[in-house]
Structure 1
Amino acid sequence: MNYISARLLSTNPNTMMQELLFEGVTREYKAHFCISYFPEDYRYADMKPILHPKELEYYTTLRFERRAQSYLAGRYVAKKAASLLFKEDNMASICIDQGIFYQPIVIYPASSNTQVSITHGGGLAAALAFSERFPLAIDIEKILIKKEFFMSQFTDPEITLIQSLSFANDTAFTVLWTVKEALSKTLKTGLMAPLSIYEVNHMEVKDGVLYSSFANFMQYSAASLIFDTYVCSIVYPKRMPLVVGTLNETLVRFMAISKIPPNKIGGGFFQ
């Protein structure tokens, strides 16, 4: 199998991009992945030149610094992923607009059917760019120690399922949260519907990856990787599974090359 090489960009923020493969029995689909690390002292305002005029107009209305930073970080990784797909060097020519439910909408003259999924938090931001023919979503979260909160959000069968796994409950709860959030992005509902609708009915560790399936959306599956204090989950059409090794190798290289403080992010597999 031939993959393009993951590339660490020389400019800040530390960024890596990779083509991901989803492989079925008779066909395959590709998506483009981007992840960036933003240190605490990063000058987010330096990224304003990448904004499309429509994005810049919206950016100037943001009054809270954290919201402005997350907006810039999200647009940066989304545009990087899309630029790899479009082979477009001028990121300002790509507009990541917002839909009625605040879902990202890609506006680019040469493409009318490209979508992106964005996630950010804990100094990291990541995105997937893909064809609307092949719906995907990504979520990355720091492993949270909020057992009481999670117990109130998940169904009894999900809690029983988590307790049957061989790793820490905090990790399992965070995986379940990221899987549900990624599915909600795929469905373009966000977490505005009862979480029980996104109920996970099966979780299985295989070759160091945790795979999940859904009670009400049987056409989708999720693959989750743990990276020290973070979990990354991608939801995809069930019959076209992700070739996970490429994503894991990219994240491991990203950690090793990026200037990330110890214990901020690490790499590893579920056991």
Structure 2
Amino acid sequence: MLVPNAVKIQTLLMDRPIASGSFDAPDLLRATLAVIDLDAVNSPANDAALIRSYFHPREMDRRDRFEHMRRKDSYTAGRLAAKLALKHHCPSVDMQKISVEKGVFDQPILLADSSASDVAQLGISISHSDSYAVALIFHRAHPMGVDIDLPTQQDIAPVLSGLDEKTQRRFADLGLSDVACASLIWTARESLAKALTTGMMTPLALYCSSNITRQGNCFVLHYENFAQYKTHVWPGKKGWLALTMPARTDMKTADPDWE
């Protein structure tokens, strides 16, 4: 089993003015974040009992077809994070009746057997890094995206080379190191791309920020071309966590306790 300090699961509560006539559901502004610290666990692909209790038969079949353990570990960790988040979000749902599949843009989607139809209104976002597996469950009417990463030294120059002058000046004002700048902008872009379901196939210039502010330990980015979204980014020792949400939505809960 995963050791207790390796997994952190929490409910995120949000607030948003609802426009007249817009869709309003009881759980619209509730999301669940699950983070697995992969450095604190042995190979998650080896925990057969845990996997059987959470995985759909299709997921079991898929993981068994991976030949390389690194890829099997990555798949297993991401799916486990997804199922742990979903179980916390919907405690009564049988996880073996839910399968995390891929949509036409390779985005993760939740497919449920008929007896688990309660998840039909939910969306999911998943991210991996060398140290973490992260999943976010949210209402599909309130799109979100999550990413976690820590760019390598070789990644830093390519990430920073494409920044517009306005963003470069803002980073200088914030006094961030090159590693922090690259981590911040990369995870923010990835989480926005997941919320948009574009992946990183869109020219990076389209993700340019209109403003970057610091709020305590959190950075908040708004965008020139996607004004309907904003991204919260939290720095960490082994990775930076980014969460994209609609721009008019505010966090009611404290910053996620994810490290």
Question: Which stretches in structure 1 are left out of the alignment for 5+ residues?
Answer: 1-8, 256-271
Q: What percent of counterpart residues are identical?
A: 23
In structure 1, the residue matched to 2:15 is: 23
Name the CA shift for 1:210/1:35 in 2 (closer, same or farther; >3 Å): same
The alpha-carbon deviation at position 133 of structure 1 amounts to 0.7
Provide the TM-score with structure 2 as the length reference: 0.85
Correspondences of 1:122-271 after superposition (within 5 Å): 122-142=130-150, 144-145=152-153, 146-243=155-252, 245-247=254-256, 250-251=257-258, 255=259
Task: Please tell me the root mean square deviation across aligned C-alpha atoms, in Å.
Answer: 2.3
1:269 maps to what in 2?
Answer: none
1:119 correspondence with 2:123: no
Q: Count residues with an aligned counterpart.
A: 242
Q: 1:162·1:173 contact (CA, 8 Å) conserved in 2?
A: no
The alignment status of 1:110 with 2:117, answered yes or no, reads yes
Q: Which runs of 5+ in 2 are unaligned?
A: 19-23
Q: Structure 1 CA distance, aligned partners of 2:107 and 2:46? A: 23
Structure 2: distance between partners of 1:173 and 1:182 = 14
Partner Cα separation in structure 2 for residue 226 and residue 32 of structure 1: 19
1:156 is displaced (CA, Å) by: 3.9
Determine if the alignment matches structure 1 residue 79 to structure 2 residue 83: yes
Counterpart residue identity of residue 6, structure 2:
N
Cα deviation, residue 73, structure 1: 0.5
CA contact (8 A) 1:162 1:169 kept: no
Q: Report the 3-state secondary structure (helix = DSSP H, G, I; strand = E; otherwise coil) of the residue aligned with 1:48.
A: helix
Q: After TM superposition, give the deviation of residue 12 of structure 1 in Å.
A: 6.2
Q: 1:20 to 1:43 in 2, by over 3 A?
A: closer
Which amino acid letter does the alignment assign opposite residue 80 of structure 2? Y
The 1-side partners of 2:161 and 2:67 are apart by 33
1:83-128: CA deviation from partner (whole Å, max 9, x where unpaired): 1122136422221111122111101232312111111112211111
Q: Which has the higher contact order (CA 8 A, sep 6+)?
A: 2
1:55 corresponds to which of 48, 56, 59: 59
CA contact (8 A) 1:14 1:36 kept: yes
1:238 is displaced (CA, Å) by 0.7
Distance, in Å, in 1 between the alignment partners of 2:60 and 2:161 is 39
Q: Which residue of 1 aligns with 2:21?
A: none
Residues 1:244 and 1:213: Cα distance change in structure 2 (over 3 Å):
farther
| Structure having the larger proportion of residues in helix | 2
Structure 2 counterpart SS, 1:148: helix
Match of 2:70, SS state, is helix
Assess, with a 3 A threshold, how the Cα gap between structure 1 residues 48 and 168 changes in structure 2: closer, same or farther: same
